[in-house]
Amino acid sequence: MQNVSFLLFFEFIKIGLFTFGGGYASLPFLYRISEIYNWYSYSELTQMIAISGLTPGPIGLNMSTFAGFKTLGITGALIAGVGLILPMFVITTQVFRIYRKFSDNKYVNSILYFLRPTSCALITYVGYKLVYSLILKNSFSLANIDLKALFILLILFICTLKIGRNPVKYMAIGACISLLINYIKL
Amino acid sequence: MLVSLFEIFKAFFKIGAILLGGGYVIVPIMNDELVKKRNWLSSDEVLDYYCVSQCLSGIIAINMAILVGYKLRKTRGAFVSLLAMTLSPFISIMLIANAIELITNIPFIESVFYGVNIAVIVLIYLAIKDIWNKSIVDKLSALWFLLIFLLSVLKINPVILILASILSGIVLQKIKDIKNAKC
């Protein structure tokens, strides 16, 4: 138990330190945790992403406290939250004094030139794993494709042309179609 | 006049409670709450803080809260704004996480989550789309994207990939500097 809380703290310090580019950028790390330790399963992680989008607060913080909760209850949530925030507190208060020079610095910009595609690729990988598990049902054979899931996904993709990026709307539409299919037996 | 720590707490508690749907909405919320209502900073500063926060590691909205708190009352202000901002998200996640455990086995809720989970794919797609235009700007960055994606498929630790990116950024800039010095 003590060992797990220490590991948890360390893992979330890593997330606070190495996440660049917004809330979803912490996903690759949370995904890796679910792979290495048995703290929560991949499907639980998917649920965490959904609920974090529906709950007030920054999505990255919500996912992390949720993951900590899954691991060690409320203590775990506290450990994960503090671990995540600690590097930010230290770094950001230090950067304040030089922030005017900071975003113009050529090294900062050169590093970001590489970091941005890296974040993008890491999130894309999580998206790919999600499609692989939810739509393809963990195999590359056509026979295993979940047609109901594929149908919902296609409708939601069409919706992206119309309804912007409010996550609540997408989840509501996804839930409604799923219920309709289940209860009307289309 | 110094802003009291309690005032900072109240403002950021509210921001934490009304922030919904990812970090992008933080700029308009801070403009409303901190610039218009309280006059603690200018809207230019909000944009500056947003730019810096994007360059820093961690969560953009929280980095912005720390910057504002630090501007108002130095380290103590930063600590209070951070604490206040994270409090209501933390409490709501605890309540929901507890409730979820109780209801996930009900078939109706299972069916709801089946649809919601698929919506998560679309949310990730939208997140990728948002950073795509900023990150893939030329051939080298596109190549780098592909390389990192392949290395992820090979299950390389993301920490290593992030560190490699930072290192490449430094090396590329050094090479440019040397080239410029020669000219």
Residue A185 pLDDT > 70, yes or no?
Answer: no
B95 touches chain A (CB under 8 A): no
Which of the residues A27, A36, A75, A113 would you substitute to probe the B interface, choosing the one with the greatest number of B C-beta atoms within 10 Å?
A: A113
Partner-chain contact B57 A107, CB within 8 Å: no
B83 touches chain A (CB under 8 A): no
CA atoms within 13 A on the CB side of B37: 14
The Cα B183–Cα B155 span in angstroms is 42
**Any alpha helices (H) in chain B, and if so which ranges?**
5-18, 26-30, 43-55, 60-103, 107-135, 139-153, 158-182
Asked if A156 and B122 touch (Cβ cutoff 8 Å), the reply is yes
A186 pLDDT band, cuts 50/70/90, is low
Q: What φ, ψ does residue B88 adopt, rounded to 5°? A: -70, -35
Tens place of pLDDT for every residue, chain B, 183 residues?
Answer: 789 999 999 999 999 999 886 556 889 999 999 999 999 999 999 999 998 998 999 999 999 999 999 999 999 999 999 999 999 999 999 999 999 888 888 899 999 999 999 999 999 999 899 889 889 999 999 999 999 999 999 999 999 999 999 999 999 999 999 999 987
Of all residues in chain B, the one with the smallest CA distance to A76 is: B94
Q: What φ, ψ does residue B56 adopt, rounded to 5°? A: -90, 160
Residues of A in contact with B172 (CB under 8 A): 110, 113-114
Q: What is the pLDDT of residues A125-161, one digit of tens each?
A: 999 999 999 999 888 888 889 999 999 999 999 999 9
Mean pLDDT of chain A: 91
The Cα B42–Cα B31 span in angstroms is 8
Asked if B171 and B165 touch (Cβ cutoff 8 Å), the reply is no
A43 pLDDT band, cuts 50/70/90, is confident
Q: Which of A109, A57, A121, A120 is nearest to A85 (CA)?
A: A57
Of all residues in chain B, the one with the smallest CA distance to A157 is: B122
Residue A3 pLDDT > 70, yes or no?
Answer: yes
The Cα A18–Cα B159 span in angstroms is 7
Asked if A72 and A41 touch (Cβ cutoff 8 Å), the reply is no
Predicted pLDDT of residue B103: 87
Q: Which of A64, A142, A5, A49 is nearest to B118 (CA)?
A: A49
Altogether, the residues listed in chain B come to a count of 183
The Cα B117–Cα A172 span in angstroms is 11
The Cα B79–Cα A163 span in angstroms is 37
Predicted pLDDT of residue B24: 67
Asked if B57 and A18 touch (Cβ cutoff 8 Å), the reply is yes
| Range 40-59 of B in CB contact (< 8 A) with A | 48-49, 51-59
Q: What is the DSSP string of A163-182?
A: STT-HHHHHHHHHHHHHHHH
- Average pLDDT on A20-32 reads 90
Predicted pLDDT of residue B116: 93
Q: Which of A185, A105, A114, A101 is nearest to A148 (CA)?
A: A185
Residue A86 pLDDT > 90, yes or no?
Answer: yes
Structure tokens at A26: 């912490």
> How do the domains of chain B map onto residue ranges?
1-103, 136-183
Asked if B39 and B103 touch (Cβ cutoff 8 Å), the reply is no
Residue A102 pLDDT > 90, yes or no?
Answer: no
Residue A123 pLDDT > 90, yes or no?
Answer: yes
Place of tokens 């606070």: A16
